[in-house]
């Protein structure tokens, strides 16, 4: 607490606030006939202390740069966070709580960033919020080291439950956080020993404290102090002081407390409290037995108190950060300019041969100085995926300024940390792995799209051209699954020029972008212009008899096929379509200019043909797993060849 902060609310208001939060935790799910009551009830004192005594935030500006970040990784207890947002004046009112889990409300079933003010990340899938917090803590450290403690100095607070820590992503993320020594990351483990099926002992005997000690965390056993507000405050403030390690506070709680019927019952994880249960519990709490009982005087006092606390911290920050915020570097970090980037983008001569995974590295090297928020890394494949950026130091305890992150063989944690980095603000994360390992990080890719996080996922080694590693490492269905994710911008550039353009497009895009890149060298056949519209003509002929559409390395193959067809009297247009989603968003006349009505379309892509019926009348692709053979042999064996395209094209136009 700062010396000139206002005093706490006082014992009577503290007691009333906790009781009201617990009442809302029962009332809102009951009214919705859906939701989770018991966890929110048990954690009401902790959340009250965090919001009213410990965390730094400004109710008048939920997006204040130097606010503490709060993540409810146990997102099923969303009514807990909504209650505190309402009491604190962070954009919710009581009617929003009455509309809990209803269509169009600001209080959806699980917290969603960008939908509810004060919600930092989208949680619900257990463990994701915990892993997002690692990225947020890393973003804070990078910015604090760059701009100074007067401009950036905040903490990332997480509440995680047994389910969060059972999920594998928590193991990956906790290990990474401990290795990096992210000492402004503080997680409260809600040790209620309950899962949906019953007690945690049904499935898990982990010693959580020993686990986190082994990861390099500072572990503090708080014991059963969940009802002692002053003890909770002291523990949280002590954790905030830090010792060079992330902190895990192990808090023993009792789900459903203080219900006379459901305390410590696994039924309390869900919708255990009917009307009679609520009545009996409210009698214990000492509040009226009426739905959504929130005294006006409590709301007024709570909001006045949080505003007074904010005024102190905000005024101090406005003064101490003024010099840093006036620098061009601050603007470039928090609002990168694509216009400034454009002159630095590399280009390649037609006919050159370069793998697109190598082209992205050249592009990153050329533009990184203009992007001080760039944070690059990979899951142990930095050189292989083109995500090693010249001039960037490796992030570590010894080099906290480093913007090159070695995530290790932790694809899931990498993706989730990238989402946290992006949603923190002031960070542009790019992370790479092989396309086939999308299988290990699909959850954060989906959540990046759901939350609009500006991340750049690089997936290299994009087809059976991977070669001898065989079908376990050769992606087939992965492109189709990426394209099926709503809100995910997917680009498979044809060559180096489209790769350069794709990077600029990703920086400009207000959301997540996937770059799907080749392992093998690919001939440069485009000027890169197809990226901005999603598709463009690469080779044209007068009155084309058909259109051959390709993506990635198959565009150059289509160009070769079109030349052979031309020699044989068949006129074919070649189109590069690096981004289905971008092309789909074009006006009808722009689409028909590329794919004229009445002209048959043949697609060629070294991947599943699923989905191509939207654009093509016939498709050449791979609808089986790959084979272990050199890349060129595998492609030929599976039918991705000039001969196959020529034969299919001639058949489509009826040529002999």
Q: Which residues are catalytic?
A: 411
Q: Which strands sit side by side in the sheet containing 572-576, from one edge to the other?
A: 536-539, 572-576, 546-550, 601-604, 618-620
Q: Which segments of 89-232 are extended strands (E)?
A: 156-161, 185-191, 218-223
* 254-271: b (≥16 Cβ within 10 Å) or e: bbbbebeebbbbbbbbbb
**Run of H or E residues at 641:** none
| Structure token digits, residue 516 | 């799907």
| Structure token digits, residue 301 | 């006092």
CB 247 within 8 A of CB 217: yes
CA 477 vs. chain centroid, Å, equals: 22
Residues 477, 104: Cα–Cα separation, whole Å:
34
CB 631 within 8 A of CB 547: no
Within 13 Å and on the Cβ side, how many CA atoms surround 641?
Answer: 12
The torsion defined by the Cα of 220, 226, 232 and 238, in degrees rounded to 10, comes to: 0
Cis ω before 258 (30° cut-off from 0): yes
| Structure token digits, residue 572 | 């074919």
Residues 67, 83: Cα–Cα separation, whole Å:
19
CB 433 within 8 A of CB 385: yes
* Bridge partners, residue 278, by sequence: none
Tell me the C-alpha to C-alpha distance, in Å, between residue 589 and each of 73, 573, 593, 595: 46, 18, 6, 10
End-to-end CA distance of the chain: 84
Q: Which segments of 194-337 are extended strands (E)?
A: 218-223, 247-252
3-state secondary structure of 549: strand
Residues 359, 518: Cα–Cα separation, whole Å:
10
CB 549 within 8 A of CB 577: yes
Return left, alpha or beta for 498; rule: phi > 0 is left, psi -120 to 50 is alpha, else beta: alpha
CB 552 within 8 A of CB 462: yes
Phi, psi values for residue 333, rounded to 5°: -75, -45
Residue spans of alpha helices (H) in 509-553: 530-533
Evaluate the CA torsion angle 429, 435, 437, 441 in order and state its sign: positive
Select from 401, 410, 360, 349 the least CA-distant residue to 383: 360
**Run of H or E residues at 332:** helix 328-334
Residues 444, 448: Cα–Cα separation, whole Å:
6
3-state secondary structure of 218: strand
| Max Cα distance, the chain (Å) | 91
């Amino acid at each position: 607490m700062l010396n000139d902060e206002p005093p706490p609310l006082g014992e009577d208001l503290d007691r009333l606030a906790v009781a009201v939060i617990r009442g809302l935790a029962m009332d809102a799910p009951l009214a919705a006939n859906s939701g989770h009551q018991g966890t929110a009830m048990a954690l009401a004192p902790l959340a009250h202390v965090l919001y009213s005594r410990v965390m730094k935030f400004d109710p008048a500006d939920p997006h204040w740069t130097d606010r503490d970040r709060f993540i409810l990784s146990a997102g099923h207890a969303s009514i807990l966070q909504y209650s505190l947002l309402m009491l604190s004046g962070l954009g919710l009112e009581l009617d929003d709580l009455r509309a809990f889990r209803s269509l169009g409300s600001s209080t959806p079933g699980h917290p969603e960033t960008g939908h509810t003010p004060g919600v930092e990340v989208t949680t619900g899938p257990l463990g994701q919020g915990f892993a997002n917090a690692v990225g947020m803590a890393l973003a804070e450290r990078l910015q604090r080291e760059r701009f100074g403690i007067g401009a950036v100095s905040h903490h990332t607070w997480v509440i995680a439950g047994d389910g969060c820590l059972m999920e594998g992503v928590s193991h990956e993320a906790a290990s990474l956080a401990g290795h990096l020594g992210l000492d402004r990351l503080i997680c409260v483990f809600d040790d209620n020993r309950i899962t949906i099926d019953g007690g945690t002992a049904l499935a898990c005997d982990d010693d959580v404290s020993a686990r986190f000690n082994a990861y390099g965390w500072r572990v503090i056993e708080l014991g059963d102090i969940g009802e002692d507000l002053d003890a909770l405050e002291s523990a949280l403030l002590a954790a905030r002081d830090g010792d060079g390690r992330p902190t895990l506070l192990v808090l023993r709680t009792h789900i459903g407390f203080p219900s006379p019927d459901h305390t410590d019952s696994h039924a309390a994880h869900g919708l255990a409290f009917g009307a009679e249960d609520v009545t009996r519990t409210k009698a214990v709490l000492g509040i009226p037995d009426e739905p959504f009982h929130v005294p006006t005087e409590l709301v007024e006092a709570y909001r006045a108190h949080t505003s007074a606390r904010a005024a102190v911290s905000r005024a101090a920050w406005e003064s101490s950060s003024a010099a840093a915020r006036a620098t061009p570097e601050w603007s470039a970090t928090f609002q990168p300019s694509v216009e400034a980037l454009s002159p630095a983008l590399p280009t390649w001569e037609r006919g050159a041969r370069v793998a697109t995974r190598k082209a992205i590295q050249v592009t990153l090297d050329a533009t990184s100085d203009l992007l001080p928020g760039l944070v690059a890394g990979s899951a142990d494949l930095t050189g292989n995926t083109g995500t090693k950026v010249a001039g960037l130091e490796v992030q570590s305890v010894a080099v906290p300024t480093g913007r090159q992150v070695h995530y290790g063989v932790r694809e899931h944690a990498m993706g989730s940390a990238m989402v946290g980095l992006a949603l923190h603000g002031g960070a542009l994360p790019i992370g790479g792995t092989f396309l086939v390992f999308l299988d290990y990080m699909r959850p954060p890719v989906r959540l990046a799209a759901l939350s609009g996080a500006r991340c750049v996922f690089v997936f290299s080694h994009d087809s059976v051209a991977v070669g001898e590693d065989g079908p376990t490492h050769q992606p087939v269905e992965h492109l189709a699954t990426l394209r099926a994710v709503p809100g995910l911008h997917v680009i498979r550039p044809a060559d180096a020029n489209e790769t350069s353009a794709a990077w600029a497009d990703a920086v400009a895009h207000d959301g997540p972008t996937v770059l799907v890149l080749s392992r093998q060298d690919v001939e440069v056949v485009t000027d890169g212009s197809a990226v901005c519209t999603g598709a463009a003509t690469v080779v044209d002929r007068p009155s084309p008899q058909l259109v051959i559409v390709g993506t990635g390395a198959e565009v150059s193959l289509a160009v070769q096929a079109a030349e052979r067809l031309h020699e044989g009297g068949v006129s074919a247009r070649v189109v590069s379509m690096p981004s289905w989603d971008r092309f789909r968003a074009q006006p009808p006349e722009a689409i028909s200019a590329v794919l004229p009505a009445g002209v048959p379309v043949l697609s060629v892509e070294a991947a599943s043909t699923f989905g191509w019926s939207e654009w093509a009348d016939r498709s050449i692709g791979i609808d089986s797993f790959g084979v272990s053979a050199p890349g060129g042999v595998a492609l030929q064996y599976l039918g991705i060849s000039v001969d196959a395209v020529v034969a299919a094209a001639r058949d489509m136009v009826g040529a002999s």
